[in-house]
Structure 1
Amino acid sequence: MKTLFVGYRVTDLDRSLTFYTALGYVELGRVGGGDGSHLVILKFPGEPAASLELVHRPVDGRVDVGSGFDHLAIQVDTLAATLEMLTEAGLEPGPVQYPGGPRGPKTSWLTDPDGYRIELVEWPPGHPDGITAADFS
């Protein structure tokens, strides 16, 4: 088994698409429902398949984040360049943090239009992509 993608319910599809495309996602496709609902499937250009689904169901009303979901983590090549790009796009990333100390990953936090938190992560040189068992030894 493996995780395919994360699905976020969003209040305003256009506003969310503007945010996530500024973050670097591209649209793979969309599916419309008879009640005005839409699923929009996104991925980063270097990914082989979808990694995010935006679920827009206007009949369900406004999204209420806070039901137990914490955050989405996104790996970036260079955090400084990513933060500059996001700021130029009108987004407001947080300051650089070093949660594992000066030799660990660099992170920054961002919040999407519905309040979903996103952690941007730059791994130190030589670290494999993602968290592995080696991170706990």
Structure 2
Amino acid sequence: MRLLHTMLRVGNLEDSLKFYCDVLGMKLLRQKEYPGGEFTLAFVGYGDEVDHTVLELTYNWGVEQYDLGTGYGHIAIGVEDIYTTCANIRLRGGKVTREPGPMKHGSTVIAFVEDPNGYKVELIQIPS
């Protein structure tokens, strides 16, 4: 068994694709509209779905916003240089909500960014 994907409901598919692809550097792997169900699915990630876990962005036609609730935490992405990554995210129009630095009560270097829907994405410095 392996983890295939995580699904996020998004209010504006184009804004979300710009964030995940242009700001975070993922690739749009596939996208399909389902007129009968009035929704569109877009799968994005850093590699092919055969070998990598990806994100499924679900746009329900006509729904522009969701209540994120208190159960969702974040997705996490490992990065080699967290300071440069955050600087590049800012240059591409992304929102850094927690500057890079050691996590509270630990030594792992982390940062947080926020997507256009308010979902949190944790960046974790990969030890070299």
TM-score, with length taken from structure 1: 0.80
In terms of Rg, which structure is larger?
1
Q: 1:115 to 1:9 in 2, by over 3 A?
A: same
5+ unaligned residues in a row in structure 2: which ranges?
none
Contact 1:42/1:50 (CA < 8 Å) preserved in 2? no
Runs (5+) with no aligned partner, structure 1: 126-137
Task: Say what the alpha-carbon RMSD is for the aligned residues.
Answer: 2.0
Matches of residues 39-54 of structure 1 in structure 2 within 5 Å? 39-45=41-47, 48-54=51-57
Q: Among 49, 53, 58, which residue is 1:55 paired with?
A: 58
* Alignment length (residue pairs): 123
Deviation of 1:59 after TM superposition, in Å, equals 4.4
Instruction: Give the 4+ runs in structure 1 shifted more than 3 A.
Output: 45-50
Match of 1:83 in 2: 86
What TM-score does the superposition give when structure 2 sets the normalisation length?
0.85
The residue number in structure 1 matching 2:31 is 30
More strand by share: 2
**Higher RCO (CA-CA < 8 Å; seq separation 6+):** 2
Q: Write the deviation string for residues 82-103 of structure 1: whole angstroms up to 9, x where unpaired.
A: 11110110112131121154xx
Asked if the contact 2:109–2:124 (Cα under 8 Å) also holds between the matched residues in 1, the reply is yes
Q: Distance in 2 between matches of 1:61 and 1:23?
A: 22
Match of 1:108 in 2: 111
